[in-house]
Structure 1
Amino acid sequence: MNFKYIKLNPSQLLVVVFLFFIILGTILLKLPISTTNFISWTDALFTATSAMTVTGLAVVDTGTAYTTFGQCVILILIQVGGLGIMSFAVLIFIMLGKKIGLKERLIIQHALNQTSLGGVIKLVQNLFIYSITIEIIAMLILAIKWVPEYGWEKGMFDSLFHSISAFNNAGFSIWPDNLMRYVGDPLVNLVISFLFIVGGIGFTVLSDTWHKRSFKKLSLHSKLMIVGTLVINLFAMMIVFALEYHNPKTLGTLASLGDKLWASYFQAVTPRTAGFNTLDIGSLHEGTISFMLLLMFVGAGSASTGGGIKLTTFLVIVLSVLTFLRQKTQIKIGNRAIKVQIVIRSLAISTISILFIFLAVFILNITEPDPFLKILFEVISAFGTVGLSMGLTASLSDIGKIIIVFIMFLGKLGPLTFAFSLATPKHDKIRYPNEDVLTG
């Protein structure tokens, strides 16, 4: 793991390594041993990218188009993509007793979106311990449900597949109806949602919570993520329940109030980059779809398995607006102030994201015959690495698939990482005089 002679900055190296694994995954998925029927190179690339970026959008049915070997390739791509390529590299070199230098630590810091170098190696070690432990426990719990239904071999594999897919916020399922057959099942709803909520809240928060075990002692980032996640999920559940209660194609078809509540809860939390669904997304009211667009765009937490602009980025922008409206000069949360650089970074992330989403929607509106809302939903789902679809994915043209592949890639790496990979940022040492510009 010696990057001493590599003339790439951390952002460029991450892009190159990510592309390498996507290409490798594409080749493996194109092998005859991976598929039950012929699939094109474009479909193999789309699937590999969707798995590596832990998105979950699928142009072919994962359970029928791919053999067990092909599904295992997808599963490995999900695990590597979710936990991070550099994290796996660190683990291997720690096991081999190799020294991890400064440049390697900088790359890991960049990959995990950390603000400092301190503790990045320890974070990687904790990341693997938490991840593998949670996935194994979840697999065993799901096996209690699925082994009696499908037998030992299939039941255990299905449990493993969905456990890894859920924790990494991938949304891949080996059933054509995703999880719609378990719309009212408490065990499946709780385990799967617990996995993608914990995976999406961020490894920094998990590590912070485990070591401090007191809400008051947690960092500001951890407090924002925990409170923000609880509030948004509860509010989203109420919105889905209210809008879909009388919809004859979704909640209206469910007999009991319990099933309606479970379905509302699951559809409320899954747009936070999870990608699983227990209701037909294409049958939801347009009001519900519009609300989901916001949830998918915001996404999960930093240093998590999820995508989107990230919850903390969204909260910083909202707090900045409130601070401006109150005519205050300092953005405060409790007894802590937020640096101006963080606000600028949040605005940069959001602006670049919106520009790429607009460009993708513009091109797809030319190449695809589908309605605008379907296209917008598909693009934001790809950017947020969510994986939900209104039924557009399978009918995309080859150009449309390539556009979505790029947006998934952008969403996983992050807009700033992608931008920095194209141009190395330079620090301006010269200060210039101020002058006002009329705005608003």
Structure 2
Amino acid sequence: MLLVLSRDACSIGIRKAKSLSANGGFALFRKLFGLIVASPPRVLVLGFAAIVLSGASLLMMPFAHTKSAAPQFIDTLFTATSATCVTGLIVEDTGTYWTTAGQWIILAMIQVGGLGFMTMATLFAIVLKRRISLRERLVLQEAFNQTSIEGIIRLVRKVVIYALTIELSGALLFTSRFMFDMPFGKAVHYGVFHAVSFFNNAGFDIMGNYRSLTEYVGDPVINIVTMLLIVLGGLGFVVLADLVDIRNPKRKLSLHSKVVLSMTSILIVVGAAVIFIFEYTNPGTLGPLPFGQKVLAAFTQSVSPRTAGVNTVDLASLRQATEFFMVILMFIGASPGSTGGGIKTTTFTALIGAVIAMIRGKEDIVLFKNRLAQERVHKALTVTLFAFGIVILATMILSTTENAAFLKILFEVTSAFGTVGLTLGLTAHLTLAGKIIIIIMMFIGRLGPLTLTYALGPRKERQLYRNAEGKIIIG
């Protein structure tokens, strides 16, 4: 009886659905249902949003903060977004406002946000020996920005192994150094927190009073370990896997790895040289330091804007030329498939290659004796213009809501979009509207503008025809 009723109900439902389809109502239902049965980009967006909201709720708990009064939800939402999107911008000092429990909650969000929640979910599935579905593999492909799902589970295993190995090594080195300045238990806590934060390019620190690593400006151990963690986290796990496999004489570095390694090296060296020259005589930054410490600080501040958010000098005392140059470094960011943000080093390389090819009158863009497909160039141009437009729009809005200098606002917005975490002192004084804008920028920067576009926009439809070719004058 119930089975008959169920079949009848299904038949009636199908007829009603067809009727609604004819009137356009069923199309609306399918669109709403599509938000639940989501495409890979939508899964990433919803997943990160769920982590942010969960983290913000936990930070509201009395055990998470040191004050008697509960923090405002907008502040915990800001902190949770900054941690999950591995940015590092803070409205409350991490070392003094949050308890040890609160700091571990922030660290957990940094780890999940840096490696990606799908990576962590896949890890649990592997441990429980559960089969990874095709849809989950497609989401992982989107998360790691891969061109296919082939070998995606092997990549996840490598990601987890490499990340934990590097973080553990960094934690041991940091702990051994901090032991000279604090008790062993506190040194371990500081070592683990900063190793995880810096490898994930988050930029959170628990030194207290917003001072970051300024008291270690001349310390070679702290600076070198910090730079290594930031660079390794910013190269991308595909490049790390390539570097590990290079020990096999039959394996060679891929074009992607060659581009990432070369552009990363160029940006670090050029960035250090520019900062060293501009700040050499600045009494508020490099001026009072010995020559060796000047070089060390210049390299640290060249690496940090590549989405890490660590500073060993007072950023508010930088010259405007240096501040603007750091905006450029933050906009470029790290590399694809890494824990960092920005438009990515490969995107910047493709654009530079296109400019050089045009100047030389060449039709093809050649990198390391490999021709770059026009589709890659078009995507690089799209990502750059999209990112540039978002940064400009957010800067214009904040220029009306915040009482601050234009360069300081541009610096803050670019830092949020590049998931960097550096600030010239504006973050703690943001209005409610300003905090919301920066939260949105951090979210866009972590997921990428194209991912959000694919997630929120209509599905790509097959083009049935092409229009006639036209010509316009360029330049």
TM-score (norm 2): 0.90
Cross-structure match for 2:445: 411
CA 1:6–1:101 in 2, change beyond 3 Å: closer, same or farther? farther
Q: Take 1:217 and 1:425, find their aligned partners in 2: how far apart are those partners?
A: 36
The answer as to 2:395 corresponding to 1:367 is: no
Is there any run of 5+ residues in structure 1 with no aligned partner, and where?
none
Cross-structure match for 2:274: 239
303, 324, 330: which one aligns with 1:296:
330
Letter in 1 for 2:197: S
Letter in 1 for 2:245: H
- 1:375-394 to structure 2, matched below 5 A, reads 375-394=409-428
Q: Take 2:427 and 2:35, find their aligned partners in 1: how far apart are those partners?
A: 42
Deviates more, 1:399-408 or 1:8-17: 8-17
- 1:214 CA drift (Å): 7.3
304, 316, 324: which one aligns with 1:282:
316
Letter in 2 for 1:149: D
- 1:321 CA drift (Å): 1.4
Cross-structure match for 2:236: 202
The answer as to 2:300 corresponding to 1:272 is: no
Letter in 2 for 1:309: I
Letter in 2 for 1:164: V
Letter in 2 for 1:146: F
Letter in 2 for 1:409: F
95, 109, 128: which one aligns with 1:77:
109
295, 298, 301: which one aligns with 1:261:
295
Letter in 2 for 1:336: N
Q: Take 1:157 and 1:313, find their aligned partners in 2: how far apart are those partners?
A: 37
Cross-structure match for 1:61: 93
Cross-structure match for 2:260: 225
- 1:436 CA drift (Å): 1.3
CA 1:5–1:406 in 2, change beyond 3 Å: closer, same or farther? closer
> 4+ residue runs of structure 1 moved beyond 3 angstroms?
213-216
Cross-structure match for 1:307: 341
CA 1:379–1:433 in 2, change beyond 3 Å: closer, same or farther? same
Q: Is the 8 A contact 2:233 2:339 kept in 1?
A: yes
- 1:6 CA drift (Å): 4.9
Q: Take 2:304 and 2:126, find their aligned partners in 1: how far apart are those partners?
A: 35
Q: Take 1:15 and 1:427, find their aligned partners in 2: how far apart are those partners?
A: 25
Q: Take 1:427 and 1:147, find their aligned partners in 2: how far apart are those partners?
A: 61
Q: Is the 8 A contact 2:272 2:302 kept in 1?
A: yes
Q: Take 1:194 and 1:63, find their aligned partners in 2: how far apart are those partners?
A: 23
Cross-structure match for 2:29: none
How many residue pairs align between the two structures? Answer: 436
The answer as to 2:213 corresponding to 1:183 is: no
109, 115, 118: which one aligns with 2:147:
115
Q: Take 2:315 and 2:460, find their aligned partners in 1: how far apart are those partners?
A: 41
Q: Take 2:466 and 2:401, find their aligned partners in 1: how far apart are those partners?
A: 47
328, 338, 354: which one aligns with 2:388:
354
Q: Take 2:179 and 2:461, find their aligned partners in 1: how far apart are those partners?
A: 56
RMSD, aligned α-carbons: 1.4
Q: Take 2:422 and 2:319, find their aligned partners in 1: how far apart are those partners?
A: 15
Q: Take 1:244 and 1:21, find their aligned partners in 2: how far apart are those partners?
A: 40
- 1:432 CA drift (Å): 2.8
461, 466, 472: which one aligns with 1:426:
461
Letter in 1 for 2:274: I
3-state DSSP of counterpart to 1:99: coil
CA 1:267–1:362 in 2, change beyond 3 Å: closer, same or farther? same
Q: Take 2:456 and 2:50, find their aligned partners in 1: how far apart are those partners?
A: 17
Q: Per-residue displacement from partner, 1:240-286 (whole Å, max 9, x unpaired)? A: 111101001001122x2111111111111110001000001111111
Q: Take 2:310 and 2:135, find their aligned partners in 1: how far apart are those partners?
A: 38
25, 35, 40: which one aligns with 2:55:
25
- 1:396 CA drift (Å): 0.4
TM-score (norm 1): 0.97
Letter in 1 for 2:164: I
Letter in 1 for 2:260: M
Letter in 2 for 1:405: I
Q: Is the 8 A contact 2:255 2:368 kept in 1?
A: no
The answer as to 2:357 corresponding to 1:323 is: yes
- 1:333 CA drift (Å): 1.2
Identity value in percent = 44
- 1:212 CA drift (Å): 2.3
Q: Take 1:27 and 1:15, find their aligned partners in 2: how far apart are those partners?
A: 19
- 1:15 CA drift (Å): 0.5
Q: Is the 8 A contact 2:90 2:427 kept in 1?
A: yes
- 1:331 CA drift (Å): 1.0
3-state DSSP of counterpart to 1:21: helix
The answer as to 2:434 corresponding to 1:400 is: yes
Q: Take 2:178 and 2:432, find their aligned partners in 1: how far apart are those partners?
A: 37
The answer as to 2:191 corresponding to 1:156 is: no
Deviates more, 1:315-324 or 1:47-56: 315-324
Q: Per-residue displacement from partner, 1:373-416 (whole Å, max 9, x unpaired)? A: 00000000000000000010000001100000000000000010
3-state DSSP of counterpart to 1:289: helix
Letter in 2 for 1:59: V
Cross-structure match for 2:83: 51
Q: Is the 8 A contact 2:272 2:299 kept in 1?
A: yes
Q: Take 2:408 and 2:248, find their aligned partners in 1: how far apart are those partners?
A: 44
164, 167, 182: which one aligns with 2:199:
167
3-state DSSP of counterpart to 1:246: coil
Q: Per-residue displacement from partner, 1:358-387 (whole Å, max 9, x unpaired)? A: 110011000001000000000000000000
Q: Per-residue displacement from partner, 1:94-130 (whole Å, max 9, x unpaired)? A: 1111111211111100011111211111111000000
Q: Take 1:140 and 1:427, find their aligned partners in 2: how far apart are those partners?
A: 53
